[in-house]
Amino acid sequence: MKNAALASALVSLACLLPVASLATPAPGSAASKVTPDMIQTASDIPANWKQPQGNFDYVKREVMIPMRDGVKLHTVLLIPKNAQSLPMLLERTPYNTDTFMPDNSPHMADAVWSGDKDWADGSTILVWQDVRGKYGSEGQYIMTRPPMGPLNPTQTDDTTDAWDTIDWLVKNIKESNGNVGMIGSSYDGWTVAMALLHPHPALKVAAPESPMIDGWMGDDWYHYGALRQVNLDYFSGQTSKKGEGEGIPRENYDDYTNFLDAGSAGAYAEANGFRQLPWWNRFSAHPAYDAFWQLQALDKLLVAHTSDVPTMWLQGLWDQEDIYGAVHAWEALKKAGHGANNHLVMGPWWHSQINRDGWNMGPLKWPGNTTAQFRQNVMIPWFNHYLRGTPLPKPLPEAMIYNPVEQHWDGFADWKVASKQQLTPLYLQADMGLGFEQPNGGGDSYVADPAKPVPYLPRPIPTQNEDRWRTWLVNDQRFVVDRADVLTYTTPVLSKSVRLEGAPIADLFASTTGTDGDFVVKLIDVYPGTDPTDPTMGGYELPVSLDIFRGRYRKSFADPSPIPANQVQEYKFRLPTVNYEFKPGHRIMVQIQSSLFPLYDRNPQTWVPNILFAKPSDYKKATVTIEHGAEGRSAVLLPVVAVATGDD
């Protein structure tokens, strides 16, 4: 019955429709004729699509610039329309020039990525280039290709590639005034530093931002010998393909579990195919600071090949990736007598935040957009002075470092390098105290268990969480304060300010029942229990400066040795630079532990030749004792300076 009713309804509907709508065209009629324009046998994608750009305020050019060995490098230029005699700003990158222009907008400032928006005002030619062997460029890619010499027997490196690129640009871009500036952050900052080893005469100004300077001592790969194993994803992403490779697949959401289950960092890498990667094979064969690393240390090379190019070394005070490079490059140059054309800038930023908004650093909020203000008021006028001859609003000081407590920039005519600092010991005391007076004696112990390493963030720790990764250096440390394997020392409530300008030094005297071990030292500002202006900051434990040190390198970074069990040894290492003031009502805290996992690989606490390939049986508990008495007065040496009258 239902089918009969449906058929009847369809017949009734058909009777209501125009007859023509139900008919097909008659054969031979005009409506049934197939014309040539209906037929397409080739691809619907044209060979050379050209978008009309009559309303664009810039012209985009893509060129292949030849290097001295014939290899051509893919280069993109954005030239303001009707440009005449404009300077050029060059950035060389392994990260794909396409990402620098994410939006297809007719307006240059809207088309470029955030780091270039302030430059895209029609007064500068923007130039981006894929480094040799990556994305659109020809040649072979080698990770942070070493300078020509023992590690690079060819006749090219990123110094010659920068020279050849600039030479081509000034000879072929008729809209330019022949002056070039270089800029870039992280790896791109490394390419700027490489260009400074033998700069082209047209390179008039440079700004390496958070540059990779020494990957073993304290930038991306290691910190004082402790492996930053989360960068293994970077290895596969960067070197498995000419374009963008993939990270390592995860079994679990929590990377703490993933790395713990894998065992050693080497086992984790090689289970995921890393033996196919030449970079990994070279890298993993040199865990100590041998010639492989020493001959690539750019702070030393910059001193050996100094330039006269005015250079602004930029760094974030809480740079979670490259907190070492800019400061050490600048210090090395100043110490060697080349401070006149080199300036240090440290902002209240995470890694490469200078190229993004700078309203806050995690929970720390600033009174303005610190990055935009710096770019517009300081950096661009400084570049313009050297690129187009405009006067400087005011001279750039030797060092310009943000004061995160008073929330303003401080300028320093003579910022001391670490070796020239006056240091004041802040001693570990009995009963977990901390003070400037010498301790009476004693020590404190904890059991470091590689099976239960101290996390660097509250768990779970997902693989890709940019917000947590970017700001982990300011994460509230209360999440570990009650762990038995974390020693926490605290001063009484401060009655007056303690101001620091420089790099604190951790100076520990410790014994261990193992034959190796790591030491993590954190300098922390403990906020008052309540904060009427921001209740969430009540009692906050803010890391001011922290780092990790691998114990086998206590005597020599190049020649590691086992730790003699149950014997007190000194472990002395520099912490990141600060410009900070502990205010009255706050307390100073120092925390000591043996792991920051999974950011850093676990130390098995048993001597093995190469920790990257430690076996499961090598990982053993160890009792660590921190001395603060006759056998050694452990302390953090602070660069204390007088507080100006009226600051308290």
CA distance 117 to 110: 7
CATH number at residue 137: 3.40.50.1820
Give domain status of residue 173, yes or no: yes
Query: Are 408 and 529 members of one domain?
Result: no
CA distance 310 to 604: 46
Query: Are 584 and 472 members of one domain?
Result: yes
* Cβ contacts of 9 within 8 Å, gap of 6 or more: none
Domain boundary residue, one of 377, 412, 447: 412
One-letter-per-residue 3-state SS of 36-53: HHHCCCCCCCCCCCCCCC
Query: Are 379 and 521 members of one domain?
Result: no
Give domain status of residue 303, yes or no: yes
> Contact 591/524 with Cβ under 8 angstroms?
yes
| Spans in the chain with pLDDT lower than 50 | 1-4, 6-7, 9-22, 647-648
For 524, the domain range is 421-641
Query: Are 332 and 397 members of one domain?
Result: yes
The whole-number pLDDT of residue 19 equals: 45
Torsion, Cα of 61, 67, 72, 77 (10° steps): -10
Measured CA distances, 352 to 109, 110, 239, 411 (Å)? 20, 20, 22, 21
The whole-number pLDDT of residue 524 equals: 98
Query: Are 182 and 72 members of one domain?
Result: yes
For residue 268, what are its two tokens? 């984790």
Query: Are 429 and 398 members of one domain?
Result: no
Query: Are 571 and 633 members of one domain?
Result: yes
CA distance 501 to 344: 14
Query: Are 406 and 425 members of one domain?
Result: no
Phi, psi angles (nearest 5°) of residue 256: -60, -45
Query: Are 375 and 493 members of one domain?
Result: no
Dihedral-angle region of residue 65 (phi above 0 means left; psi in -120 to 50 means alpha; beta otherwise) = beta
Give domain status of residue 251, yes or no: no
Percentages (nearest 5) of helix, strand, coil residues in the chain:
25, 25, 50
User: Which residues, in sequence order, are bridge partners of residue 428?
Assistant: 434
**Number of folded domains that form the chain:** 2
Distance of CA 547 to the CA centre of its chain: 15
Give domain status of residue 630, yes or no: yes
Domain boundary residue, one of 366, 389, 412: 412
Radius of gyration of the chain (CA): 30
| DSSP classification of residue 249 | -
CA distance 474 to 544: 8
Helix (H, G, I), strand (E, B) or coil at 433: strand
Query: Are 382 and 517 members of one domain?
Result: no
Query: Are 477 and 558 members of one domain?
Result: yes
Q: Which of 115, 372, 333 is nearest to 213 (CA)?
A: 333
Q: What pTM was estimated for this model as a whole? A: 0.93
The whole-number pLDDT of residue 6 equals: 47
Distance of CA 268 to the CA centre of its chain: 23
Query: Are 485 and 552 members of one domain?
Result: yes
Cis bond before residue 598 (omega within 30° of 0) = yes
* Cβ contacts of 392 within 8 Å, gap of 6 or more: 381, 382, 385
Q: For strand 505-512 and strand 635-638, is the pairing parallel, antiparallel, or unpaired?
A: antiparallel
Give domain status of residue 171, yes or no: yes
For residue 320, what are its two tokens? 């979670």
